[in-house]
Amino acid sequence: MTAPAESILEVRDLVKHFPLTQGIVFKRQIGAIKAVDGVSFDLHRGETLGLVGESGCGKSTLAKLLMALERPTSGSVRVNGRDITQAKGGELKRMRRNIQMVMQDPYTSLNPRMTVGDIVGEPFEIHSDVVPKGGRRRKVQELLEVVGLNPDHINRYPHQFSGGQRQRIGIARGLALQPEIIICDEPVSALDVSIQAQVMNLLERLQNEFNLAYIFIAHDLSVVRHISDRVAVMYLGKIVELGRDREIYERPTHPYTQALLSAVPVPNPEGREQRQRIILQGDPPSPANPPSGCHFRTRCWKAQDICAQQEPLLEIRQGSDHPSACHFAEAKDVVNAP
């Protein structure tokens, strides 16, 4: 949309392996769960990067790494040029201010014993220099107003709010420290259809108002398309395709992206008998023991010998306009095709 995009987040070769242990007293490592396995991308100021992929592919682990809630096995996450994975103490605390998170479940992610004012204002306790103590209550009320909640409800408890309102509370809290980046992990999945649209509109409005950059994780691909400027598709710990929303949705080149898009039911019954579906068989393999070469090859209908031998890199290949990790990347419109 705008001129040369400025990167606010640079992720390079990020890896997170969780040790797989056996034994209760004497734990010994028998392997590793490769939750995130070499992920690189940039996030630009004010943009939304959508992140999609099947359950267990590593989306939430990636989110935690970006927020420095988990230490990576290797790789770097630069926020405004500084590597948050190496930061410690006061510097880490300062850097964390800039990346906030909105979680999936508005029912369990808020402490039921804290008032809304305490929840939204908690970041000010941790980062006590941001707003002087006397001004905090007013600041919290402002935040509630920004997300469309009644500022007079500051003393209520989470159970007195609906799911959509609780999600707004979570968003208000995420905004408290005026971050430049907000990671939304399934922010609307637990909400009813009629409430989803309200929360999506709120997120877009806040983005414009505060020039926020979002990483938007969701399993609903039409919701992701609506809000995202670019989309990254993950499979077994790796990004397999990355592009602008139209590139991913209209000209996907990776077979996994094509299968994922083609599995999404179209909310229009016209012509449903003619629709062609790519139905993937089975579940993704375990991230403890991913297939050699291309991780997707055990479910891929295009797999050749080379796919088992050589890992396809995430790069732009001939005949395509965006990076894809497939030896045989080839654009195919699966959504609008008959």
Ligand X SMILES: Nc1ncnc2c1ncn2[C@@H]1O[C@H](COP(=O)(O)OP(=O)(O)OP(=O)(O)O)[C@@H](O)[C@H]1O
Please give the structure tokens belonging to residue 18: 């969780």
x/- track of binding to ligand SF4 for residues 210-249 (CB under 6 A): ----------------------------------------
Q: Quick check: helix, strand or coil at residue 142? A: helix
CB of 86 to ligand X, least distance (A): 21
Helix runs in the chain, H state only: 59-66, 89-97, 116-126, 136-146, 163-175, 193-210, 221-227, 245-250, 255-263, 305-309
170 touches ligand X by CB under 6 A: no
Give me the residues paired with residue 42 across strands: 10
Please give the structure tokens belonging to residue 7: 């990167």
CB of 317 to ligand SF4, least distance (A): 10
Please give the structure tokens belonging to residue 337: 């095709």
Task: Count the Cβ atoms, other than its own, within 10 Å of residue 327.
Answer: 18
Element at 234 (helix H, strand E):
strand 230-235
Buried b (16+ CB within 10 A) or exposed e, 19-53: eeeeeeeeeeeeebbbbbbbbbbbbbbbbbbbbbb
Applying CB under 6 A, the span of 52-60, 87-95, 168-176, 291-299 interacting with ligand SF4 comes to 291-299
CA atoms 236, 240, 244, 250: torsion sign: negative
Which among 101, 202, 116 has a CA at the least distance from the CA of 159? 116
Residue-level length of the chain: 338
Among positions 200-259, residues that touch another protein (CB under 8 A) are: 200-201, 204, 219, 221-223, 225-226, 245, 249, 259
From the list 303, 320, 322, 323, which residue makes contact with ligand SF4 (rule: CB under 6 A)? 303
297 touches ligand SF4 by CB under 6 A: yes
60 touches ligand X by CB under 6 A: yes
x/- track of binding to another protein for residues 256-275 (CB under 8 A): ---xx--xxxxxxxx-x---
CB of 190 to Mg ion, least distance (A): 12
The Cα–Cα gap between 291 and 278 comes to: 21
x/- track of binding to another protein for residues 149-188 (CB under 8 A): -------------x-xx-----------------------
Which among 80, 4, 71 has a CA at the least distance from the CA of 36? 71
109 touches ligand X by CB under 6 A: no
CB of 111 to ligand X, least distance (A): 21
Count of positions on this chain that bind ligand SF4 (CB under 6 A): 13
Applying CB under 6 A, the span of 3-11, 52-60, 116-124, 316-324 interacting with ligand X comes to 52-60
228 touches Mg ion by CB under 5 A: no
Count of positions on this chain that bind Mg ion (CB under 5 A): 1
Applying CB under 5 A, the span of 10-18, 53-61, 130-138, 150-158 interacting with Mg ion comes to 53-61
Nearer to ligand X, 60 or 258 (CB): 60
| DSSP output for 75-96 | EEEEETTEETTT--HHHHHHHH
Nearer to ligand X, 150 or 289 (CB): 289
Nearer to another protein, 53 or 179 (CB): 53
Report helix angle 116-126 to 136-146, nearest 10: 120
Could you tell me the CA-to-CA distances from 116 to 51, 86, 102, 141, 186 in Å, in that order?
30, 34, 15, 10, 21
Nearer to ligand SF4, 64 or 254 (CB): 254
Binding site for ligand SF4 (CB under 6 A): 254-255, 294, 296-297, 300, 302-303, 307, 312, 326-328
